[in-house]
Amino acid sequence: MTDGRVNMGGSPVPVIHQIRELLSIGRDPRNDREDFLDVYAFGVGSLVHVETLNALASHKDGEQHVFLLRGLPDLQEAFHRMIDESETMGLCGLTYEFKSASDRERNPWHVTIIVTRPEKGQERCQGSLVSPYFVLTAAHCFHVDDQAPWVTVEVGPRVQRKVDGLFLHPQYNLGGRRDRGVPEFYDYDVALVRLQTAVPPSPTTRPLCLPCTEGASRALRLPPDQSTCDEHRRLLLPEKNLDAFFVSPRGPSELQRRPVHLKLGEQRGPCEADALRAPPYAKVVALEDVVTPRFLCSGGTEPYVDPNACRGDSGGPIVVTWGKRYFQVGVISWGVLDVCRQPRAPAFARDFHINVFEVLPWLRGQLQDEDLGFLP
C-alpha cells in the first residue's frame, strides 16, 4: 500500500523488474510466464501517483491489479476483485456487499416467476434459487391447472428461463377449511419450480442457504457430519424478535431489501392473533383454524414499525443473516391487509410466512437429487 511517491530508499520499480527477471517472466514471447507472479498495488491517500502504481502492478487481460482506496468499502471491493472465486461461486448464501455492487449482486438468489395464462393475462410472484435447477416459492402463485410451459423464471433483467415442472406441497389446499368458515387456508403454502436448464453460478445468480443442509452447516461454521437440524433451528430461529428481511422488486432491475422482525418471543401471540382481523376471517372464531404452527409472523409497530409485503411479493424468501451468510427461513404467504397503497399501515397489519423448517421433509424428498446434503 502506497501513495506511489518516494521520499527515501529509492523507487521500488527496479526491484519489481529484478523479481520478474529472477522468475524469467517476459523473456520468451511464446511462454511469458506471467501466471507465476501477481503484484497488486493499493493507492492510499488523496494524492496518489497512479503512474507509479501502474509501473509496480501486474498487467493481465481481464484482471485488475491497481486499486485506489478511499475507505473500508473500497478495500472490500478490491479483495473481491483480486480473489479468484471460480471454486466458491456455487456456495450458498454469499453476496457482494461493497458500495458499487448491483442489487442483483447483493441479492443473487432472488428471481421473479411469471405465469402467463392463455386469455387471462399475467401474474407475478417472487422466489429464491435454492439449487441450479430449483426455485422455492409459494403454492398460491399457481392454479391447479397451470402448466409448466405457461411459467417462466426471470433470473435477471430480460434473462428468462423456461420451466419443465411445478411441484406444490401435497397438503396445500386453499379451500380445505371452508366447512369451518375459512374461505382461504394457506397452510403448507410452498411450491418448487424446476427449470429446464441449470442456472450457472455467478455474482448475480447464487443459491440461498436452506437450513438443515451441509452447505448451511458450513456457512454456520458447524461440522457438516456432526451438526443437527435442531442446531440450525436454534441458531437461525431463536425465540426472540428476530431481525430478517425480504426483497421487493422496484422496476426491472432494482431490488429493495425490506427489514422486518419475526415475532418468535413474547410478541408471537399478539402477532398471530391479528390474523383474525383480515377481512376474509371476520366470522372465524378459532385462531388455530387460520394460523397453524407452520407460520412465522411479522409486521406491526412493536418493538419497531415493520414494512409489509405488497401484492406481487408473494413467494419471496424471508432471509436471516448469520456470520455474513444468508439463510432462508420463510416463504412469504399472505397478509392481514393490502396496505401498500395506504399512506400508513395500522398496527394490526401483519404478514404470515411459511416456516421452512416445518416443510423440510417435503423439500428433502423433492430436492434429493440436487446434492444439497440434507441432514438426517
pTM score, whole prediction: 0.81
Q: Residue 88 has what pLDDT? A: 66
Separation of alpha carbons 53 and 49, rounded Å: 7
Q: Residue with C-alpha cell 376474509?
A: 280
Q: Which amino acid would we find at residue 205? A: T
pLDDT at 112: 97
* Rounded average pLDDT over 135-164: 94
Lowest mean pLDDT among 9-13, 113-117, 158-162: 9-13
In the 3-class helix/strand/coil scheme, how is 296-308 assigned residue by residue?
Answer: EEEECCCCCCCCC
Q: What is the pLDDT of residues 346-362, one digit of tens each?
A: 999 999 999 999 999 99
pLDDT of residue 13: 83
Q: Where in the chain are the domains?
A: 13-82, 110-364
Where does the pLDDT of residue 4 fall: very low under 50, low under 70, confident under 90, or very high at 90 and above? low
Residue 2 has pLDDT above 60, yes or no: no
Q: Are the C-beta atoms of residues 168 and 139 closer than 8 Å to each other?
A: yes
Q: How many Cα atoms sit within 13 Å of 357 on the Cβ side? A: 18
Of the residues 103, 169, 187, 189, only one is catalytic, namely 189
d(CA 138, CA 140): 6
The Cα 98–Cα 143 span in angstroms is 40
- Please state the φ and ψ torsions of residue 43, each to the nearest 5 degrees: -90, 125
- Please state, for a pLDDT cut of 70, what percent of the chain lies above it: 91
pLDDT in tens, 290-334: 999 999 999 999 888 999 999 899 999 999 999 999 999 999 999
User: Following DSSP, what letter does each residue of 109-153 receive, concatenated?
Assistant: TEEEEEEEETTTEEEEEEEEESSSSEEEE-GGGS-TT--GGGEEE
SS3 210: coil
**Cα–Cα dist 235/126, whole Å:** 26
User: Is the CB of residue 174 less than 8 Å from the CB of residue 185?
Assistant: yes
Average pLDDT of the residues in 235-259: 92
> Among the options 140, 169, 261, 353, which is catalytic?
140
Would you state the pLDDT for residue 342?
78
- How far is residue 311's CA from residue 313's CA, in Å, rounded to a whole number? 6
Asked if 189 is an active-site residue, the reply is yes
pLDDT in tens, 24-76: 887 888 888 887 888 888 777 766 777 888 888 888 877 788 777 766 566 66
314 catalytic residue (yes or no): yes
| Confidence check: pLDDT of 1 > 60 | no
CA angle 160, 119, 313 (to 5 degrees): 50
Strands 110-117 and 151-156, bridge-based pairing: antiparallel
Distance of CA 295 to the CA centre of its chain: 20
Q: What backbone phi and psi angles, to 5 degrees, belong to 342? A: -105, 150
pLDDT recorded at residue 85 = 63
Region 2-12: mean pLDDT is 66
Q: What confidence tens digit (pLDDT) does each residue in 81-129 have? A: 666 666 667 799 999 887 778 999 999 999 999 999 998 889 999 999 9
DSSP-based helix, strand, coil % in the chain, nearest 5: 25, 30, 50
Q: Which of 58, 314, 351, 353 is catalytic?
A: 314
What does the pLDDT average to over 183-192?
A: 98
3-state SS assignment for residue 195: strand
Per-residue model confidence (pLDDT) at position 357? 98
* Cα–Cα distance, 340 to 316 (Å, whole number): 16
Task: Tell me what pLDDT residue 356 has.
Answer: 99
**Averaged pLDDT for residues 191-202:** 96
**CATH code for the part of the protein at 110-364:** 2.40.10.120
Taking a C-beta distance cutoff of 8 angstroms, is the pair 259, 321 a contact? no
